[in-house]
Chains A and B, each alone.
Chain A
Amino acid sequence: MKKKMTKLERGEALTGYLFILPQMAGFIVLVLVPLVMVFTYSFESRNLLFGNMGFTGLDNYKTLIGDDLFYMTLKNTVIFSLGVVPLNLVLSLALALYLGSASTGTKIVRSVIFLPVITSGVAWAIVFTYLFQGGEAGPINYILSLIGIEGPNWLHEKGWAMFAVVVSRVLKNLGTNVLIFMGAVMNLPQDVLEAGRIDGATRPILFWKIKLPLLMPSILMVMIVTVIGSMRVFDTIKLMTDGGPEGSTMVLVYYIYHQAFRTFNIGYASTIAVVLFFIVLLLTIAQWALRRRASYYED
């Protein structure tokens, strides 16, 4: 039988609730209510100029099923994520392992790697747009020309544009993951590593058989965050390519923006947003399940 709360316990509970009230109020007003509104709008013919033109049931979802642009942007989002996530994870883990073992110069390298994270995303994208200019006007192409390579028109050629956007995005966010991995690397149990060394484990074996399994919870956590981040990319795309050329860098979030604020079709944009919400939710659940399975020592 549940024990009845004393007056003191009730007072403490009330205090707790009052403390979380500001946070909860913010969550309800800024997250929960908009989320419910997006779900509602997805069943309406709602336009920014014309207002709500009525409940349309599943019409927006039927439109989405036949929308070639939706499938194109979905494919682009997958390509973007497949570019960003592995590159980011491998580079940040390698840097974290290096910085965790190096004895000199780590503070400077750490600062340099973290600098892009605190740089404005807009400024970063503008600088990279300049760097990736086509012809010899672009600094990257100029450097390539010095070694006899004619660089492409990075942001205006299909294929290269996505590459340029991925590179820009990876370099921008690398620092955060490096810091997380460094924390994990520094907290590796030294006795286990020492035991491995005494048993004659070489450096590759030490990495693959001991360090990597021990780092797996951090890797999977970073992977979840990076995947979600890559699905929500907006500023880099808007400023560097505006979704072009030929829609090759138009990702889902940018398509939602186009539908909502360029063609004013809020109802349909909400439908795509709902689909994106479920995609991210499913991916997160899948990765979370993987985390429990792959992290052998985690409860």
Chain B
Amino acid sequence: MRSSLKMRVLCALLALLMLSVPVMAGGSQESGSTSSGPVRIKIATWTSNPDQIALLQSFVDEFAAKEGIEVAAEFESIEFGEYNTKLSLELQGSQAPDVFWVLETSAPAFIESGLLAPLDAELAEYNPEDLSAKAMELWQKDGVTYAVPFSTSPFFMIYNADLFAAAGIDTPDKLVAEGKWDWNAFRAASKAIKDATGVWGYQTVDGGGYDVRILHNLCPIIRSYGGDAWTNDGQILINTPESVEAVQLFHDMVYVDGSVVPPGDQSDFFSGAAAMTAAQVSRVSKLTDVDFAWGVAPMPAGPMGDVPITGQAGIGAFSKGKNVDVAKKLVAYMTNEECVARMAGIWPPARYSVLESPDFLTSQPLLTADQMSMAVAGSIETGRVLPSHVMYPQIEVESRIVWDRLWNPNADVQAVLDGVAEVYAKYIK
């Protein structure tokens, strides 16, 4: 009886020990991380491309050598769709990154929240006047810089030249040369290809043009017709006659012409299932393995000219991080002239010295200098970022429900856009 009791007590103590081991292990791990040694910098990005991570790592190594310190960088690649969710959670916990990328649409909220450290003192060392004032607008507040756009990348059109040849029509770059590349020509080309080959004429940006990328999809048309979603001074323009005309054009392409990959269809340009798509330089690498001839062109023009959307991404330092001083210096270093020149083929920079350099036009091996000049460099000049707002996440979630009404053949475009404007008006004053 006594031995049985002893055995039970022993078992219970073992169970307790099993419970306490992970707790103690966690504790020892924590204490290990605070020991002296290299400065640990965690960098959050949404790229998982090994070449791109290696490039960023080389910047960290060079920075450490310059500063005469040892830096152990840990790169955390977060899936793009979950980036804001995971990053915001980490920033409230003990696993926060010291340096992180910021989406353009989140920039005002991140700046307002105080999570980004001011960078002006650190940037002073690297010729801040070289940074495009227009590109920096989104990342500054009251004259203080909170992040630096490492990518100012315009959207342009990539097309499948084989499908244009099969349909017997002129390619977009030929129409550009003739000054005829506008939204009506784009619509006609898309329909001609669908009618002649049965292949979709156009796939929206990353296939997300009906939901997560709706403004990336519609704003180039809307702005080139003289409309907009909203302006920085609080004017809501999404339901103006110009915006309605532009959205009606796209709606007719989907439901009258039937030439655009429709909502819910997963046909992809890069697998040859569509003749055109809107993309950025970072997507060009996907063309390496395609089995068709391709070309690039700027976004088509409207009555107000060619107004492409520029996608921006910034890099900033966590204001409450343990190594905030090193992090701020690292951000400034990673966005200096030499580093951004090496990134330019993937992420077009915001530095004049690099953009105006002949090397920029040959920085993307898959694009010729002429293509870079016509579709990328030229569009950086004319392009504008999407409208932003500190309440952008709320605006996006609520307006999405109204936008969905647009995607049926009988939708009343004006009524839907009036509904979207109502949602915008709740937040934009």
Contact = CB atoms under 8 A, between A and B. Distances in A.
Of the listed residues A135, A245, A263, the one surrounded by the most CB atoms of chain B closer than 10 A to its CB is: A245
Contact of A261 (B8, B85, B115): B85
Contacts of A258: 397
Contact of B88 (A22, A49, A69, A155): A49
Contacts of B13: 18
Interface stretch (B31-39, B335-343, B400-408): B400-408
B407 A245 contact: yes
Interface string A40-63: 000000011111000000000000
B15 A21 contact: yes
Interface stretch (A8-16, A115-123, A193-201, A211-219): A8-16
Interface string B234-250: 00000000000000000
Interface string A122-145: 000000001011110110000000
Tell me if B's interface is mostly helix, strand, loop or mixed. Answer: helix
B37 to A, nearest CB: 31
Given A18-B13, A133-B266, A246 B404 contact: yes
B113 A245 contact: no
Interface stretch (B166-174, B257-265, B307-315, B380-388): B257-265
B19 to A, nearest CB: 5
B85 A134 contact: no
Contacts of A278: none
Nearest to A154: B264
Nearest to B10: A15
B88 to A, nearest CB: 4
B16 A135 contact: no
B109 A49 contact: yes
Of the listed residues A18, A50, A134, the one surrounded by the most CB atoms of chain B closer than 10 A to its CB is: A18
A247 B264 contact: no
Contacts of B77: none
A15 B12 contact: yes
Nearest to B6: A11
B9 interface: yes
Contacts, number: 109
B404 A244 contact: yes
Nearest to A132: B264
B265 A49 contact: no
A86 B331 CA distance: 57
B115 A134 contact: no
A275 to B, nearest CB: 19
Contacts of A8: 1, 5
Given A49-B88, A49-B91, A134 B398 contact: no
Interface in A157-201: 157
B408 A157 contact: yes
B422 interface: no
A8 to B, nearest CB: 7
Contacts of B408: 157
B265 A134 contact: yes
A293 interface: no
A15 B8 contact: yes
Interface string B364-400: 0000000000000000000000000000011011101
Given A8-B5, A12-B8, A244 B264 contact: no
A137 B265 contact: yes
A242 B262 CA distance: 17
A145 to B, nearest CB: 15
A262 interface: yes
Nearest to A11: B5
A262 B396 CA distance: 9
Contacts of B19: 21-22, 25
B397 A156 contact: no
Of the listed residues A12, A155, A263, the one surrounded by the most CB atoms of chain B closer than 10 A to its CB is: A263
Nearest to B266: A133
B267 interface: yes
A135 B210 CA distance: 16
B404 A130 contact: no
Contacts of B404: 244-247
A15 B402 CA distance: 60
Contact of A153 (B1, B109, B262, B394): B262
A107 to B, nearest CB: 36
B85 A262 contact: yes
Nearest to A260: B85
Contacts of B333: none
Nearest to A47: B113
B204 to A, nearest CB: 13
A39 interface: no
Given A245-B407, A246-B404, A50 B113 contact: yes
Nearest to A15: B8
A11 B9 contact: yes
Of the listed residues A133, A155, A250, A264, the one surrounded by the most CB atoms of chain B closer than 10 A to its CB is: A264
Given A69-B398, A134-B263, A18 B5 contact: no
A134 B393 CA distance: 29
A262 B88 CA distance: 10
A19 interface: yes
A139 to B, nearest CB: 12
A134 B267 CA distance: 11
B207 to A, nearest CB: 12
B262 A49 contact: no
Nearest to B1: A8
Given A156-B263, A261-B88, 13 more contacts: A8-B1, A11-B5, A11-B9, A15-B8, A18-B15, A18-B16, A48-B89, A133-B266, A134-B265, A154-B264, A245-B404, A246-B405, A263-B393
Interface of A: 8, 11-12, 14-15, 18-19, 21-22, 25, 47-51, 69, 130, 132-135, 137-138, 153-157, 242, 244-247, 250, 258, 261-265
29 contacts: A8-B1, A11-B8, A14-B12, A18-B16, A19-B15, A22-B15, A22-B18, A25-B19, A48-B88, A48-B89, A49-B91, A49-B109, A50-B113, A69-B398, A130-B266, A134-B263, A134-B264, A134-B265, A137-B267, A154-B264, A156-B263, A244-B404, A245-B407, A246-B401, A261-B89, A262-B393, A262-B397, A263-B397, A265-B394
5 nearest A-B residue pairs (beta carbon)? A18-B12, A134-B264, A49-B113, A261-B85, A247-B401
